[in-house]
Every structure is written in structure tokens, then in C-alpha cells.
Amino acid sequence: MTRNSSIVRSEEFYRTLVGNAAEGMLTIDVNSDIVYANPAIERILGYSPDELMGSSKMKIIPERLQSVHAAALDSYVETGERNIDWNGIELPALHKDGHEVPTLISLREHEHDGEQYFTGIIRDISERKQREEQLRDQKERLDQFSDILTHDIRNPLSVARGHTEIAQEEYDIPELEQINESLERIETLVEDVAALTREGQAIGRTEQVDVKACATEAWRNVMTNDAELCIATNTGVIEADESRMHGLFENLFSNAIDHVGKDVSICVGRLSDKDGLYIEDTGPGIPESIRDDIFEYGYSTSDTGTGYGLAIVRQIVNGHGWKITVTESDTGGARFEIAGIDSLSVEKQ
């Protein structure tokens, strides 16, 4: 094989490589004229390579930004100073149908036959921008939720506690003490959930928590009616934020009762094949198609649900460094498995 034929075959190889790249590629000269466009550019901007080659790059630049682009190129050609990050900058590009496409562009400079050229590698980041927008929406909903907790719930809660304390002074009724304890628990929950919305996955001081005692106390704070709770004997002790664990159990118990009914049976036990716990019920289960969605803020299959309960559960789990998944129990009900809980012991130290 001669040297020339080797060069030709090498050029063909790189031409094929560039032509089949997933990212769009555009090459312009110092006058902003497009001298090359690869096929992927059509998927991103709607123009075929032939429609772009020979045109000005301004064809794909939104009108409001054209003067900025022109000035930036002129300045670089004259001074050699870069005013933007060539390794990746987010810029909108103009699609053939007129809408703007958010893109991430990396730039490279090169010479050919003594002429200066610039190649941009263009990636469509529309999906990423959409996810960012969804996260912003979730953050706004969390802020609103925190406002409801701190203003609309605390005020009537204080009134209820005040009347309960007055009643305790006048009447010797044992149930009043339980009411007062429940009101105190509500106030703690309000503070905890408000903290979660402000601080994300923040977890406070951890300590040894007896799982059975914690779950039992959480059960008393839920309107259970005819529902039944079963706690396995080997749940043991875990290192956790006890207040957050109360919230975790309460939300999972309430979720089962709300979606299954007042006669549901719920069981808490220890995972046999890995360090962790499970909470399962005797309901119809959760369809596999929505198991990833149920932990999203605002997602609920109930008309009366807030969509916050399981989202808070996941935050508590993630804050401890654990992992939660949803599967099916032996009876076909929903089974929440929390893995990664270290140092489980059978008896409290």
C-alpha cells in the first residue's frame, strides 16, 4: 500500500466517523460562513447539511443574539482572546421551523491550507433543561408546602394545645393526656417536615433506635381504626435519627391505610438477604409501571392525597444513606424495602 493510498483511506475513515457522529458538527470560516455540516445537525436543527453549507451561521442564531455572536468572533480573530468557555457553553440555536433549541456547544480552532476555521460540536440539551424545569417546579411546591406547615397548621395547633391544657387542669380525663401527646407529636412533625423542605436530605443527630418501639409509637399517631400492625421479633436496633424514623413509619402506615382501607394489615420486619427493613401490606399492591413515580413530590393516585408522604419517606431514607425500593409482598400487596441499614442488632444495647 502506497503512502498516498494510506492517506486517502485515513481521510475516508475520519469522514465516515464524523458523518455518523451523534452530535451535530458545524465548521465556519472567519467570515461566519458555514463550510461543513454533518448529518446529525438535521436531527437537532431541522436543516440538512446541504441547506446550511454556504450560508452564514446567522441562519441558526436567534436574531437577538446575532450581533453578539458576530462581535465575539471578530474580537477573537483580531485578539486571540477567548471570552467564552470553548469546552462547553450553553447557547440557544434556531431550528428550521423557528423555535429555539437549547444546546451545549464545544468549540475547536484549526487551519487548513492556510485558512482559519472553527468547528462547533453541538449537543441538544432539551431533555436536561426540561428536567431542570421540573426540579424548579418541585422546589416551588416544596416552598409552598413549607409555608402551609409553618403558618396554616401551627396557628390552629397552638390553639388546640392551649384548650387541651386548660381542660387537663379542670378535668381528670386520661384521654386528654393522649390528645396532648398527639398534638406535641404533630408539632414535632411540622418542624421536621419544614426542615426537610428547607434543607433537603438533612438528618439530625443519630442514636440507637429500637425499631419495634419506634414503629409501635408511630402506629399510635396514625388513625388506624380496624387496621392491624405486625412487627417481627427480629427487627432489632438501628442507628438512625429517631424523629425522622417516626415520620418514615407514620407516612408508610398512612399510605397503606389511605390506599388500601381501614382493615389493611401491615407488617414490619427485617430483610433476610441484606441489612435492612421491609414494610408490607395486604392490599392489591402497586403496579410496576408507577413504582418509580410514587416517590415524586405531588404524585398521588388518590384524589384526596397530597403526594408528599412517600416523597418525604424517600428523603428520610436518602438522608440516612439508605436505599428504598418497591416490590410485591407474598400476598400481592405493596412491599417497601429499605436496604443499607448498617449495624442491625437484635437487642437494644
Question: Is the CB of residue 122 less than 8 Å from the CB of residue 44?
Answer: yes
3-class DSSP assignment, residue 78: helix
pLDDT at 77: 87
CA distances from 230 to 222, 241, 267, 327 (A): 15, 23, 4, 19
CATH number of the domain enclosing 274: 3.30.565.10
Per DSSP, the residues of 162-229 read HHHHHHHHH---HHHHHHHHHHHHHHHHHHHHHHHHHHSS-----EEEEHHHHHHHHHHTS--TT-EE
Q: Which domain holds residue 194?
A: 126-200
Segments in the chain below pLDDT 70: 1-20, 149, 151, 191-193, 195-202, 274, 297-308, 343-349
- Tell whether 49 and 36 lie within a shared domain: yes
The C-alpha cell of 13 is what? 475513515
Identify the domain boundary among 200, 235, 258.
200
Specify the residue for cell string 470560516: 29
Measured distance between the N- and C-terminal CA atoms of the chain, rounded to whole angstroms: 79
At 138 the pLDDT is 74
- Write the pLDDT tens digit of every residue in 171-218: 888 888 888 888 887 777 776 667 666 555 557 778 899 999 999 999
Q: Which residues contact 276 (CB under 8 A, 6 or more apart)?
A: 270, 322, 337, 338, 339, 340, 341, 344
Label residues 299-334 b or e (16+ Cβ within 10 Å = b). Answer: ebeeeebebbbbbbbbbbbebbebebebeebeeebb
Q: Are residues 172 and 275 in the same domain?
A: no
Q: Which backbone phi and psi does 293 adopt, to 5 degrees?
A: -80, -30
Note the pLDDT of residue 262.
80
Nearest to 327 by CA among 337, 341, 316: 337
**280 with 165, same domain?**
no
Q: Are 268 and 256 a contacting pair, CB within 8 Å?
A: no
Residues 130 and 119 in one domain: no
Are 179 and 267 found together in one domain? no
Query: Where is 325: in which H helix or E strand?
Result: strand 323-328
Q: Assess whether 106 and 157 both reside in one domain.
A: no
If one counts the domains in the chain, the total is 3
C-alpha–C-alpha distance, residues 191 and 194, integer Å: 5
143 lies in the same domain as 272: no
Assess whether 138 and 14 both reside in one domain.
no
234 and 109 in one domain? no
| 3-class DSSP assignment, residue 348 | coil
> Tens digits of per-residue pLDDT, 68-115?
989 988 888 888 888 888 888 899 999 999 999 999 999 999 888 889
From 200, 232, 262, the end of a domain falls on 200
Q: At CA 142, angle to CA 140 and CA 143, rounded to 5?
A: 65
- Same domain for 91 and 112, yes or no, is yes
DSSP letter for 301, please: S
* Residues present in the chain in total: 349
* Contacts (Cβ under 8 Å, ≥6 apart) of 343: 238, 239
* pLDDT score of 8: 45
Contact predicate 322/214, CB 8 Å: no
The CATH number of residue 180's host domain is 1.10.287
Last residue of a domain, one of 108, 124, 140: 124
